[in-house]
Structure 1
Amino acid sequence: MSPLHVSINTEEPMKQLQRLLKISRPLRSPFLTLIFFLAGAIAVYAQGSWETKAPMPEARMYSAVASYGGSVYVFGGANLFGTSTATPFVYNPATDSWTTAAPDSTARRCSAMAVTLGTKIYVLGGWANCDSNSPTGNTSIYDPATNSWTSGAPMINPRGDSVAEALNGKIYVTSGGNSYGGGMISQTDIYDPVSDTWSSGTPIPLPVRNAASAAVGGKLYVISGLDQIPNTLRPDVQVYDPAMNSWSFAAPFPGPRQLHEAGNINGKIFVSSGNDASSFPLPAFIYDPSTNVWAAAAAAPTQRSIGGSAVIGNKMFIAGGASPGSPVIDSLEVYIADSDVTAPTIEISSPVDGATYVLGQSATVNFSCADESGGSGLASCVGTTVNGGFLDTSSVGDKTLEVSASDNAGNTSSTEASYKVVFNFGGFLQPVDNLPLLNVANAGSSIPVKFGLSGNQGLNIFATGYPASGAAPCDANEPGSEIEETSNAGGSALSYSTTSDQYSYVWKTNKAWKGTCRILVVRFIDGTDHFAKFRFK
C-alpha cells in the first residue's frame, strides 16, 4: 500500500516563513481534518498540560536544543534579522531563568542537531551562516562541566534539516539534505565518541527533511517531514533498529507536518508544533511504541514552527521558532505529561491460587511486580513472605500469600494467592479398607480406625463433631472384607503410637446398626474429609 502524502510547495526557509506568517488563523485541508477526527475517535490519552516560562534573552529560530543536568541548552539559530549566533542560551527550570554559555566553536549555523551523550552535548551539522545551500559536517562538542568546546571528526555526509539521536553509546544521524532545492540525503551516519570516528548504517527508506525524531526502547523513530520529491509531507514513521541495522515502519503519524518537535516522555513519543501544507497545526499527539497507537494530547498554547525542544523527566521544553504574526519568537513553553496514574501489576507464580500443599512440604514463593512501560518506575514490591523464600506450610489450614506494590508516583496495588495446607493422610490402614471396598463388622463392636499423618501431629486433629457416621444404601449381596481386629475399649478414643507412627481411633459402633450400612466420615482440622463404608451384621 502506498504511503499517504500531502502536497506542499518547496520554498526557501525565509520565504516559506513569511508566507506562513500572513495566515491569521490556522487552516486545515479536508484530508488533515479527517485524520485529526479519526485520531480523536480511535485513541484517548491523558492530555497533559502546558506552562509558559521565562522567555529567552533573544528571539531565535532554527536552533538546536538539548538538555543536560536538569538544564536546557539552546545552540545557534537566527534572530529577527536572519543573523545567526554562536552564543548558547542556558535555561534553569529550578529558577526559571536564563544565562549564556561559551560560544560554539562553529559560529553562525542554523538547523543543526544537538544530542546529549554521557557528559557532553554534541552539536552536529546544520547550515553554515544559515544558508540552506551550505551544509556543514562539523561535530562540535560542548562540555557543560568546563563550559568549553572541542571538535570531533566531521560527519561523513554534511547536512542540514536532519535528525539525530543517541542510542547505546553512539549517535545516529539520518535524512536531511545538502541543499534546500534538492539534494536529499538518505545515508545514516553513526558517530562513536570513544574512537571519534564515523561509520555508515543502512540508509533510511524514505529520506525526509525537517522531520522530528525520538529514541525509545533502543530504536530511532523518524516522524513525518518533507519529501521534496515530489514535494509532499509524509505521515510515515520510520524506525531504525541499531542492533539489526535495519529500518521498519510504525503506525503513520496522524498529522503530517514539518519543522516540528518530538521527544521521549516516559517511554512514549510526544509530538507538537510544526506546520503543515497551509498552517501551523495546533494538534499534538502521543505515540505508544508498546501498542503502536497514536493518540491526541493537549495542544501547545502558542502555534509555532522551526523551534527547538528538549525533554527533562516528564516535561518537554519548546523554545523559540516562529508563529503567526511573529517572524521570530523568544517564547519558552513546557509540556507536562500527566502523572503516572496506573498502579503496578503483580504476578504470583507460586503458590498458585487454590493450590494444596501437605504439611511441611517444601515450596518456594515466587512473585514479581512491574510498572507500566514509561511509567514512574517501581518503588516497592513486598510479600507477606519474602520473594524466593519458603512458603509457610508449618501448620494446616487455609492460608494466603499477600503481595503489595507501589510506584514512584504513589500508585499502589495488591493481590493475593490462597492455598491450603493439609495433613499428609495416606489412607486408612488395616483392619479398615478404603473405598470403594466394603468393610463388614459386627454391630456393637469397637473398630480400630488406623491411619498415619507423617509424624505426631497431636491429638487435636479432628474437626469438632468428628469422626461421625451416617446411614448409607446397603446391598446385602455386596462383597465385603470382614473386620477381624476389634478393640475392648469402653468408648471411642484416639491415640498415637510413636513406634508405628500411627494414629488409632477406636470407633464404638451401635448394636442397633445390625443389618444396615453406614459411612464413617473422618474430618480433620485441615478441612479434608476421608470416608470408609461398613455393613453391620
Structure 2
Amino acid sequence: MFKTMRLSVVWAGVALGVVGGCGDAEAPEAGVARSFDGRALSASRWSTSASMGSARGLHTATLLDSGLVLVAGGTTGAGTSGLTRSAELYNPYSDTWSGTGSLNVPHQNFAGVRLDSGKVLVAGGQDGSGAPSSSIAELYDPASGVWSLTGALVVPRSFFTLTRLDSGKVLASGGMTPAGGLSTSAELYDPATGTWSLVGSLSTSRFSHTATQLYSGEVLVLGGLGTVTNTVELFSPATNTWRQVRPMPVTRAGHTATRLFSGYVMVAGGFDPGTRGNPVLSSVDVYDPYNDRWFSVPPMNRPRRDHTAVLLYSGALLVTGGTNGTTLETSTEVYDPQSNRWFTIDHMPAPRTGHTATLLDTGAVQLIGSTGEGVSPPSSMRFTP
C-alpha cells in the first residue's frame, strides 16, 4: 500500500512536467521552484517514537525496500571510544526496534547507500584503528540480516559522499585520507563485480561536502571544508569526467543541498568558512542546472548548520534541527516552493544536530540519533505531515 502511494506521487509530478526530466528538459519559470502542493503543513506534528537499543551518532540510516530503516554503526559516546559495530532495524508501522547482524568492523563518519538489488553498501569512515580513514566496505543483505565484506575503496576516506547513479554503480567523492590530508579523488563501485575503480578527479579537494544527483544523471558536488572555495563541480557518468560550473554566491559548509521536484537544487544554511568568525547562515541559494545559474530565495527563519533537509511527497522541503552557533535547535521549518516562503512549524520534542532524517514510505520523516553536545538519548522522533 505504501509503495503504491509513493509511486502515485511520482506520477503526479510527471504529469506536471517536474519529475523525471533530463539535462535538456524544459526549464521551470525563472526564479520559481515549483511544486504541485504548496501547503504549509500547519496541521503537522512531532511525536516521540520508540527508543533504539543504544544511543548513537555519526551513523547511517537507510530506508530498505521493505519500508524498514536500517541504522548502522556510529558511536555511542565521545570520540572513537564508543565506536560500535551494532546495527538495528526500525519498523515504522509498529514503532518498534529490533537487532540485526553486526558490521564486520566499526565505522563512524562513513557513508551508506541502498543498491538497486536492495542491499545496502557502507564504506570508509573511521574504524577505531587509529587511522584517520578506512578503506573497508561492507554489504548488508536484508534477506539474511548479515553483513559481508566487499571490495575495499582504492583510497581510504572519511567525511565523503556516496551517490547511487542511474547505472546502479555508486560514486564516492572527496573526503579525508589516511595521512590526514584531503582528497580530490573519486571512484566508482560496481555491484556486479564488487570492486572500486578511480574515476577522474575533483579540481578542488574537499570533505564534509554535499553531492546531489540531477535529473540528467549528473552529480553536483559543492561546499565543504578543506580548500575554502565556492567552486561547484559536476560529474558526468556518461564520460566519467568532472567539470566546473557556475560557482556558489558564498562559501558554505555544514549546509544541505536538496533536489526539488523542479530539478533545481536548494542549498540552505551552513556556515561560511571564508568569512572571519565562520558565521552561521540563514541564507538559501538555488542552482538552476538548465541554465547554469544561481538565484536566491527568501532566507530561513533561523540560521542553522549541521541540520537536515528532506523533500516531502508534497514537494515542500522540511528542515530540522542543527545549531545556530551557540545553541542546538528544536525549531523546524518548511519551505513551500509554490509560494516561495518559509513557514516555522511545531518544535521538535528535543534538540538535534548531526542527526539523520529518513523519509518513510508513509510520508512521515523519522529523526534518529544525534551528535554535537554528546550523543542523544536513544529515542527517535517522527514528523507526520
Q: TM-score, normalised by structure 2?
A: 0.63
- 1:204 partnered with 2:204: no
The residue number in structure 1 matching 2:305 is 258
One-letter identity of the residue aligned with 1:195? T
Shift of 1:87: 3.5
> Where do 5+ consecutive residues of structure 1 fail to align?
1-41, 339-537
- 1:185 partnered with 2:229: yes
The residue number in structure 2 matching 1:242 is 289
The residue number in structure 1 matching 2:239 is 195
The residue number in structure 2 matching 1:286 is 334
Q: In structure 2, what is the Cα distance between the partners aligned to 1:121 and 1:233?
A: 32
- 1:86 partnered with 2:102: no
The residue number in structure 2 matching 1:117 is 165
Alignment equivalent of 1:269, drawn from 307, 317, 320: 317
Q: For residues 66 and 260 of structure 1, do their structure 2 counterparts lie closer, same or farther at Cα, with a shift above 3 Å needed?
A: farther
CA contact (8 A) 2:133 2:177 kept: no
The residue number in structure 2 matching 1:163 is 210
The residue number in structure 1 matching 2:42 is 44
The residue number in structure 2 matching 1:77 is 125
One-letter identity of the residue aligned with 2:217? G
Q: For residues 57 and 186 of structure 1, do their structure 2 counterparts lie closer, same or farther at Cα, with a shift above 3 Å needed?
A: closer
The one of the two structures with greater contact order (alpha-carbon pairs below 8 A, sep at least 6) is 2
1:146-192 deviation per Cα after TM superposition (whole angstroms, max 9, x unaligned): 544333212122211222200021001112232xxxx4211110110
CA contact (8 A) 2:329 2:353 kept: no
> Where do 5+ consecutive residues of structure 2 fail to align?
1-39, 54-70, 76-106
Shift of 1:102: 2.2
- 1:322 partnered with 2:371: yes
Bigger Rg, which one: 1
Shift of 1:111: 1.9
The residue number in structure 2 matching 1:430 is none
Q: For residues 46 and 302 of structure 1, do their structure 2 counterparts lie closer, same or farther at Cα, with a shift above 3 Å needed?
A: closer
Q: For residues 89 and 315 of structure 1, do their structure 2 counterparts lie closer, same or farther at Cα, with a shift above 3 Å needed?
A: farther
Q: For residues 172 and 212 of structure 1, do their structure 2 counterparts lie closer, same or farther at Cα, with a shift above 3 Å needed?
A: same
Q: For residues 71 and 241 of structure 1, do their structure 2 counterparts lie closer, same or farther at Cα, with a shift above 3 Å needed?
A: farther
The residue number in structure 1 matching 2:110 is 63
One-letter identity of the residue aligned with 1:221? M
Q: In structure 2, what is the Cα distance between the partners aligned to 1:88 and 1:120?
A: 14
SS at match of 1:222: strand
Q: In structure 2, what is the Cα distance between the partners aligned to 1:291 and 1:273?
A: 23
The residue number in structure 2 matching 1:135 is 182
Q: In structure 2, what is the Cα distance between the partners aligned to 1:104 and 1:317?
A: 31
CA contact (8 A) 1:72 1:310 kept: no
Q: In structure 2, what is the Cα distance between the partners aligned to 1:146 and 1:312?
A: 30
How many positions carry a matched residue from both structures?
288
Q: In structure 1, what is the Cα distance between the partners aligned to 2:348 and 2:148?
A: 26
CA contact (8 A) 1:61 1:79 kept: yes
Shift of 1:115: 2.0
CA contact (8 A) 2:223 2:252 kept: yes
Q: In structure 1, what is the Cα distance between the partners aligned to 2:353 and 2:136?
A: 21
One-letter identity of the residue aligned with 1:160? F
The residue number in structure 1 matching 2:62 is none
Q: Which has the higher strand share?
A: 1
Q: In structure 2, what is the Cα distance between the partners aligned to 1:163 and 1:98?
A: 29
1:17-45 deviation per Cα after TM superposition (whole angstroms, max 9, x unaligned): xxxxxxxxxxxxxxxxxxxxxxxxx9835
RMSD value over aligned CA atoms? 3.5
Q: In structure 2, what is the Cα distance between the partners aligned to 1:102 and 1:138?
A: 20
Q: TM-score, normalised by structure 1?
A: 0.47
% identical aligned pairs = 21
- 1:154 partnered with 2:201: yes
Shift of 1:253: 1.7
